[in-house]
């Protein structure tokens, strides 16, 4: 019984350390926890070495040879403990904080609930005061127009399962049947979307509108998915172009700009000027980008120019956005379409407020 206890305690010590330990270091740790009596005792050291030999024979631990006269080190054989590991208190806190930024209204979906169950087990390591402090101090505040819709848990489970198994699925979408390979599961503006390959063509489906999901036997490789998927959220009437905006000087400090503050996801450069902050970015024709863009307090638009084209080439923006053109004429034409769409949306919104 005593030997069995020693074997277990050795494994626990190596798991907690999460690294290899020299024999003497391991001996001292076991003395600290009261498993062994004296770190200088030869009798106790032989007892430890016999236990380590047993664990090595069972392939639970591995001996790591050191160069020179340094003693052996011992580490856990992770192949034997693939789902068993240890975390430091700092790592546990980091995980708990990270999960606090997940949208609260989607946490009760069974697939995501499993992850939060793990976090709850982690939090048992904290005192009640520490748990209260974490839950009070960190949270995600949604933007005012962020959307939300209830999802069918079974649909979510099957779609994610199909992605993880590289399988094809059948489902109904807006009353029509589809057989597709799900390849992406992502959020946009508070809603979940499924990116899927429909006859080798990538398209997006709103998950809340998907019904009657069935997993099929046909499979696809990850390499094939990567080859066929160029963009996560492609919309047919959207084409990229280069332009800039002028923002108020009060929007940021020079230090924040120098530290890489981004006002827009597609931004590639910003600078302070006498007029304010100039921000250069990739825009898109089509109503989605325009309606989102109008939220910001923009003082002026900066049209495409040869300087912008040179910037784009310097930053190799085509690698990020393959459909982007380095032609000034093409960028000017798309910029005009963007402004035209912006005026259409502004007129619509003005009519709402006028009523």
Distance CA 244, CA 302 (A): 4
Residues 122 and 205 in one domain: no
Residues 292 and 348 in one domain: yes
The answer as to whether 82 is a domain residue is no
Residues 6+ apart with CB under 8 A from 73: 20, 21, 22, 23, 63, 64, 66
Residues 6+ apart with CB under 8 A from 172: 178, 210, 211, 212
Q: Indicate the residue among 228, 258, 292 that finishes a domain.
A: 228
The answer as to whether 8 is a domain residue is yes
Residues 290 and 344 in one domain: yes
Number of domains within the chain: 4
| Start-to-end C-alpha separation, the chain | 83
Residues 106 and 128 in one domain: yes
Beta strands 210-219 and 73-76 are: unpaired
Task: Decide if 80 contacts 60 (C-beta within 8 A).
Answer: yes
The answer as to whether 323 is a domain residue is yes
**pLDDT for 252-282, tens place per residue?**
888 998 888 888 889 999 999 999 999 999 9
Residue 314 is predicted with a pLDDT of 95
- Picking from 18, 10, 7, 9, the residue whose alpha carbon sits closest to that of residue 85 is 18
The SS3 assignment for 182 reads strand
Residues 171 and 130 in one domain: no
- Tokens in use for 235? 């919309």
Report how far Cα 96 is from the mean position of its chain's Cα atoms. 15
Q: What is the CATH number of the domain that holds 200?
A: 2.30.30
Residues 253 and 285 in one domain: yes
Residues 62 and 101 in one domain: no
Give the model's confidence band at 213: pLDDT under 50 very low, under 70 low, under 90 confident, else very high. Answer: very high
Residues 94 and 69 in one domain: no
Residue 343 domain boundaries: 240-354
**pLDDT for 114-138, tens place per residue?**
888 888 887 877 888 988 998 889 9
């Amino acid at each position: 019984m005593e030997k069995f206890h020693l074997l277990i305690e050795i494994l626990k010590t190596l798991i907690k350390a999460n690294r290899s330990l020299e024999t003497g270091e391991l001996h001292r740790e076991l003395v600290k926890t009261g498993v062994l009596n004296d770190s200088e005792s030869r009798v106790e050291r032989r007892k430890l070495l016999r236990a380590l030999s047993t664990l090595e024979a069972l392939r639970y631990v591995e001996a790591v040879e050191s160069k020179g006269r340094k003693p052996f080190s011992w580490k856990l054989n992770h192949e034997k403990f693939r789902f068993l590991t240890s975390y430091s208190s700092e790592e546990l806190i980091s995980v708990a904080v990270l999960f606090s930024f997940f949208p609260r209204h989607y946490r009760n979906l069974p697939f995501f609930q499993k992850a939060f169950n793990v976090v709850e087990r982690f939090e048992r390591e904290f005192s009640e005061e520490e748990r209260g402090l974490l839950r009070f101090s960190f949270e995600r505040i949604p933007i005012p127009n962020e959307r939300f819709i209830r999802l069918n848990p079974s649909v979510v489970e099957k779609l994610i399962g199909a992605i993880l198994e590289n399988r094809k699925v059948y489902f109904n979408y807006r009353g029509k049947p589809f057989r597709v390979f799900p390849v992406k599961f992502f959020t946009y503006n508070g809603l979940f979307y499924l990116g899927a390959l429909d006859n080798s063509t990538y398209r997006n489906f709103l998950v809340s509108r998907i019904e009657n999901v069935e997993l099929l036997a046909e499979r696809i490789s990850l390499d094939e998915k990567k080859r066929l998927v160029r963009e996560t959220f492609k919309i047919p009437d959207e084409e990229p172009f280069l332009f800039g905006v002028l923002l108020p000087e009060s929007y940021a400090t020079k230090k924040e700009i120098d530290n890489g503050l981004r006002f827009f996801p597609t931004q590639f450069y910003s600078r302070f000027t006498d007029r304010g902050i100039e921000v250069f970015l990739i825009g898109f024709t089509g109503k989605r980008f325009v309606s989102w863009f109008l939220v910001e307090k923009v003082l002026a638009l900066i049209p495409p120019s040869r300087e912008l084209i040179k910037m784009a080439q310097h930053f190799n923006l085509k690698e990020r956005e393959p459909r982007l053109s380095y032609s000034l004429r093409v960028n000017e034409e798309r910029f005009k379409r963007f402004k035209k769409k912006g005026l259409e949306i502004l007129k619509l919104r003005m009519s709402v407020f006028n009523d």
